[in-house]
């Protein structure tokens, strides 16, 4: 996909965005390492990556909460460092594990937030009512925030970020901790708002199926760098491909694997027991020809299955690691140099 090289026509534009955290005299964490982003108005972008990849840090820079160590970022037409106030006015942000104030009642908390964002009393009451309704919080409006469950509080956090219907919205793991019903409600509400207000939304999630279904664009980050950026379908077709699994008699498996590896575009051919597995870019397209060839060679294939790839397969193809496995190598660190510590 062609991306504009300048900030023109983009709502988020970064070049060489970098963030180092000096954690001690001897160690610096390189959380974000030279990130270039161009996000156009109206896009819904999911940022994926393992724990510690730099997703939250990038979002905190884009929402002006922390300055970058190097590089630059323009958000909604304004520089995040020199024009932070202008940026803040134009965005909404739901941080990872925000936690609204504790002693207020949930409904009052949301209403107050709407007033802070400049809605008049009537609009604030209407807007907070709408959000309570669509995030399934109406019954809980009279409860103190400190008494809500984790998932209920998370929904309130999301409502707080949406109250002024910003045209650019950052959501850091908005659906983490929500049950399936409330995840579906949240997505429905995000979809409606997007349609009504032409919003641009950048979100992070660890639910790969959610990103696959909802986002038009997926940015995969690992160790502070962007390692892939495209639509879920293109990423899956280009990087992972469909997986074909064939079952035959153990005596025929070796020959079947040979035939499979001659298939144009076939890769990762593995033969084990009675099974041969391989990857191709178009499984349903390739399977009939492969079965025909096997039949012609006198091999009886007793079962055949095509699995479409997931975004986890994409990550696996890119890094050799699975996003589903929680254990990820430590983030890149280096000894703190004199320049960092300054």
**Cα separation, 12 vs 37, whole angstroms:** 7
Helix segments in the chain, DSSP class H: 55-62, 84-90, 106-116, 121-134, 150-162, 180-197, 208-214, 232-235, 253-262, 283-296, 311-319, 338-341
**Cα separation, 171 vs 63, whole angstroms:** 11
Q: Which stretch binds Mg ion (CB under 5 A): 31-39, 89-97, 100-108, 316-324?
A: 89-97
Min CB(328)–Mg ion separation in Å? 13
Site string for ligand ATP, 323-342 (x = CB under 6 A): --------x-----------
Min CB(173)–Mg ion separation in Å? 6
Please list every residue from 265 through 324 that binds ligand ATP, using CB under 6 A: none
Cα 292 to chain centroid distance, Å, stands at: 41
User: Closest-CB residue for Mg ion?
Assistant: 56
Nearer to Mg ion, 55 or 78 (CB): 55
Please list every residue from 1 through 20 that binds ligand ATP, using CB under 6 A: none
- The binder of 81, among ligand ATP, Mg ion, none, by C-beta within 5 to 8 A per type, is none
Min CB(227)–Mg ion separation in Å? 17
The radius of gyration computed from the CA coordinates of the chain, to the nearest angstrom, equals 24
Please list every residue from 177 through 236 that binds Mg ion, using CB under 5 A: none
In this structure, is the dihedral angle defined by the CA atoms of residues 31, 36, 42 and 46, taken in order, positive or negative?
A: negative
Helix (H, G, I), strand (E, B) or coil at 299: coil
- The binder of 246, among Mg ion, ligand ATP, none, by C-beta within 5 to 8 A per type, is none
Are the CB atoms for 219 and 48 separated by under 8 Å?
A: yes
Are the CB atoms for 288 and 332 separated by under 8 Å?
A: no
Query: How do 217-222 and 44-48 pair as beta strands?
Result: parallel
When asked if residue 222 is in the footprint of ligand ATP (CB under 6 A), the reply is: no
- The binder of 199, among ligand ATP, Mg ion, none, by C-beta within 5 to 8 A per type, is none
Helix (H, G, I), strand (E, B) or coil at 41: coil
In this structure, is the dihedral angle defined by the CA atoms of residues 180, 186, 192 and 198, taken in order, positive or negative?
A: negative
Site string for Mg ion, 36-55 (x = CB under 5 A): -------------------x
Nearer to ligand ATP, 31 or 75 (CB): 31
Nearer to Mg ion, 96 or 261 (CB): 96
Mind giving me the DSSP string for 135-191?
Answer: TT-GGGTTSBGGGS-HHHHHHHHHHHHHTT--SEEEEESTTTT--HHHHHHHHHHHH
Q: Which of 11, 17, 31, 271 binds ligand ATP (CB under 6 A)?
A: 31
Please list every residue from 38 through 57 that binds ligand ATP, using CB under 6 A: 49, 51-57
- The binder of 57, among Mg ion, ligand ATP, none, by C-beta within 5 to 8 A per type, is ligand ATP
Q: Which stretch binds Mg ion (CB under 5 A): 65-73, 94-102, 176-184, 211-219?
A: 94-102
Region of 227 please: left (phi>0), alpha (psi -120 to 50) or beta: alpha
Min CB(283)–ligand ATP separation in Å? 31
Site string for Mg ion, 95-114 (x = CB under 5 A): -x------------------
Q: Could you list the residues that contact Mg ion (CB under 5 A)?
A: 55-56, 96
């Amino acid at each position: 996909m062609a991306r504009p090289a300048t900030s023109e026509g983009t709502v988020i534009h970064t070049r060489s965005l970098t963030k180092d955290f000096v954690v001690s005299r001897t160690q610096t964490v390189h959380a974000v390492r030279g990130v270039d982003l161009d996000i156009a108005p109206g896009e819904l972008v999911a940022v994926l990556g393992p724990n510690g990849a730099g997703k939250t840090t990038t979002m905190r820079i884009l929402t002006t909460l922390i300055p970058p160590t190097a590089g630059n970022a323009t958000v909604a037409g304004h520089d995040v460092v020199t024009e932070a106030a202008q940026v803040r006015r134009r965005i909404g942000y739901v941080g990872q594990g925000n936690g609204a104030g504790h002693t207020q009642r949930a409904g009052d908390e949301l209403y107050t937030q709407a007033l802070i964002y400049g809605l008049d009393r009537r609009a604030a009451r209407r807007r907070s009512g709408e959000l309570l309704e669509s995030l399934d919080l109406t019954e809980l409006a009279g409860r103190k925030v400190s008494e809500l469950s984790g998932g209920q509080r998370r929904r309130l956090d999301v409502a707080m970020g949406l109250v002024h219907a910003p045209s650019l919205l950052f959501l850091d793991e908005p659906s983490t901790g929500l049950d399936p019903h409330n995840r579906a409600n949240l997505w429905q509400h995000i979809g409606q708002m997007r349609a009504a207000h032409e919003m641009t939304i950048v979100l992070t999630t660890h639910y790969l199926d959610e990103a696959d279904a909802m986002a038009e664009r997926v940015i995969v980050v690992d160790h502070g760098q962007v390692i892939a950026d495209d639509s879920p379908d293109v990423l899956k077709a280009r990087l992972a491909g469909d997986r074909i699994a064939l079952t035959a008699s153990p005596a025929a498996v070796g020959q079947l694997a040979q035939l499979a590896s001659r298939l144009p575009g076939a890769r990762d051919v593995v033969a084990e027991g009675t099974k041969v597995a391989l990857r191709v870019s178009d499984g349903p397209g390739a399977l009939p020809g492969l079965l025909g060839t096997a039949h012609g060679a006198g091999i009886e294939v007793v079962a055949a299955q095509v699995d479409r790839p997931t975004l986890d397969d994409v990550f696996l193809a890119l890094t050799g690691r699975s996003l589903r496995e929680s254990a990820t190598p430590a983030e890149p660190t280096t000894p703190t140099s004199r320049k960092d510590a300054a």
